[in-house]
Amino acid sequence: MISTLSKNALDVINNYIHLPIPDHEVVCPYYNNRRSNIRAGLRSMIGKGTPTDIAEEVAIIALREKQDIKKMNNNSLKEFLVNNKLGIDCSGFYYHVMDAELHAQGLGSIREHLKFPFIKNPLRKLLTIFRPVEHAGVRTLSHEKNAVDIKISEVAPGDMITMINTGANHNFNHLLLIHAVDGEKNAPKTIHYTHSFSWSGDGPYGHGIKQGEIKITDLNKGILDQIWTEKGKTGAYNETYRHAQMSLEIKIKRLRALAQVS
């Protein structure tokens, strides 16, 4: 028995895995604006765009630079995307997929349910009305005002696995979106997730949307004690799992909007 996100949400995931660029099969790259810190850039240029936003920006840049997309193969188009800093970060990906999910469930947009507890400046608060996804990072999405903790036995599609202060220097955050769960109610067997990430082995152009699974071997143990598999790799060879281990805090979270109807 498997439960999944709605078709609308799964379609958004599919459009990130297969960007809507005619005659090409290209996975959306990973892009994080943390280093560039561009405050007012286009969503597609700061890791927060929809698949359509990104595809349209590809066409605009190609036209401006007099590049013929039709003559590019999939690899050269992926390089074009990366070199022009077009991609999506983990929280931007989660935001757009879950926006589609909430709409599908008749709950309105994700923006209607989000609070921004880290923003104190009145002007910045005003900006969240017009640029919500740009302000919806991992810490905001997973904050207690926006999400509740979930036991591993209760995990469901739409939940997120959050990694706070991960990396070798514990200086960034990450999340995985759970898009499907195998098993009986309150007895999950396998968690299927999607995220946008870059492994060290990806090189300059191999990063982007990835999918993996977590096989539940013991419901009485934590998420780190289960078997994580991504790109056919487990244990220390699975970089996503290694980052999960490095996190100062790792939790399964559910948006309060969904917790109220579950």
The 3 state secondary structure assigned to 26-71 is: CCCCECCCCCCCCCCCCHHHCCECCHHHHHHHHHHHHHHCCCCHHH
Please tell me the total number of residues recorded for the chain in this structure.
262
What's residue 26's pLDDT? 98
What is the distance, to the nearest Å, from the Cα of residue 8 to the centroid of all Cα atoms in its chain? 16
**Per-residue pLDDT in tens (0 to 9) along the chain, 262 residues:** 899 999 999 999 999 999 999 999 999 999 987 655 555 568 998 999 999 999 999 999 999 999 999 999 999 999 999 999 999 999 999 999 999 999 999 999 999 999 999 999 888 889 899 999 999 999 999 999 999 999 999 999 999 999 999 999 999 999 999 999 999 878 999 999 999 999 999 999 999 999 999 999 999 999 999 999 999 999 999 999 999 999 999 999 999 999 977 6
CA neighbor of 190 nearest in space, from 211, 166, 164, 210:
211
What's residue 123's pLDDT? 86
CA neighbor of 196 nearest in space, from 41, 5, 48, 34:
48
Q: b or e along 186-217 (b: 16 or more beta carbons within 10 Å of the residue's beta carbon)?
A: eebebbbbbbbbbbeebeeeebbbbbbbbebe
Asked whether residue 187 is domain-assigned, the answer is: yes
Domain identity same for 43 and 120: no
CA neighbor of 30 nearest in space, from 87, 76, 95, 81:
87
Cβ distance 89 to 48 under 8 Å? Answer: yes
Domain identity same for 79 and 125: no
Q: State how far the alpha carbon of 59 is from the alpha carbons of 62, 64, 146, 209, in Å.
A: 5, 9, 36, 21
Domain count, the chain: 2
- Which of these three, 34, 61, 83, is where a domain ends? 83
What residues make up the domain containing 72?
18-83
Domain identity same for 94 and 40: no
- Which of these three, 41, 60, 83, is where a domain ends? 83
Domain identity same for 101 and 171: yes
For residue 125, is it left (φ>0), alpha (ψ between -120 and 50) or beta? alpha
d(CA 143, CA 169): 22
What's residue 103's pLDDT? 98
Residue 191, strand partner residues: 181, 214
Domain identity same for 158 and 248: yes
- Which of these three, 83, 112, 135, is where a domain ends? 83
Q: Full-prediction pTM beyond 0.85?
A: yes
Domain identity same for 219 and 200: yes
Cβ contacts of residue 167 below 8 Å, gap of 6+?
A: 243, 246
Asked whether residue 75 is domain-assigned, the answer is: yes
What's residue 260's pLDDT? 79
d(CA 249, CA 95): 21
Asked whether residue 224 is domain-assigned, the answer is: yes
User: Under DSSP, is residue 234 helix (H, G, I), strand (E, B) or coil?
Assistant: strand
